[in-house]
Structure 1
């Protein structure tokens, strides 16, 4: 007998993976949480029926959330990650020696707990002394910490359940105010095949707040459509003006200095979404 997990990405389309074992399944205070072991992608974190990360391809997402912004800001001492309880973005942030303190604010403590237990290669830096882990509402944290952070990264689920507010204009305005005068923020903004309206709306809202806005992409095979976008808003620094020859080599599997600018070269149909 074979067991398969299917994520229904739209009403008419989904992806499926063969399962070896279900490691944990729990209805937390905020969402349905599962960690399953698959034959193709290894251990997989699933929240409310959506694949959040797998041990095989997680490096793409986590590197591309962290490194474009951190190599654009010249002195990112204080970094905030909203969401991201699996710890992958934090792991990448700590590869930057200029970062003195990284704060993780995750609303669901169970994500942190089970990631540490079942996804140690992703969550392994959450106990690092440079990291402060806060189990709380990221939306509220932003609004309570004005002029605090050099870089803010929003590692959220799709805009359902507890993540809905993390795609609102009020949240982006709060991020602007929580950043220092030369701050940068980045957020995952889903895929252009199924969520074109979301990308268009987020881009419009962020442009009304930040003077510099750039969208970039990456290939993440276990995410809907495989083509994923990120939106970066900056008060001062433009990622396209970074001298790639000055970007130091760090241990990565996807991001490279040459990819820094190349990731911002979008397919025509994605460019048309954000004009």
Structure 2
């Protein structure tokens, strides 16, 4: 993932072939204090992301040349920009394919400017939290790296006998060989680093912090927005479906089965939680 951009520089890339929507998006971002760069096709858009390392990128699905799904896959190969996919009204298949291609979020056309601002504000809150965490980690001298932590705990991901799943050890959340460090934005399983999107990382962080407590899809949807503690906020069925897709992607990267989970189990009709400690 690219980390060339200074923390919290407000840069946005807009990839949209409709000139009216492109103009609207540009105006909305610039009203929010963003430097904007726009492209009318996927190939040019990918290059803009590579060149300017934006905090957030909006990506249309239907474009000339490569479509939004392929553009998302190419962007994800080198960038951790927050990808917001723009999909056609009522086309759930586009939404799911976009999330599976690496998008973090989506908006259905025609979208409300206020809704886009809310999504972008959530991205900025998350980035600010990461910036503060990075600053804290930089001045602290007591946070070990993953290998040092293995020595302390007796092997990759070994949790001390009798501890709760997800209990932090020297800054790490650990469960059955799965490790996550929120401040350093690192995740690993059995000693190997996991390449996760920001949404997948936030989802895993929320689950590991919760341990055996069941987290509902609505709670997790709010966590992905950065609004974990605003439980009164509205969560749509589409938001909950997005959680399901992100979780499926996370499980695929972990190499675990939903029917025989090692780390994350489904509580039917309620939500998700960590499995019992082995």
Using the size of structure 1 for normalisation, the TM-score is 0.28
Normalising by the residue count of structure 2, what TM-score does the alignment of the two structures yield?
0.28
Which structure has greater helix proportion? 2
Q: Could you say which structure has the higher strand fraction?
A: 1
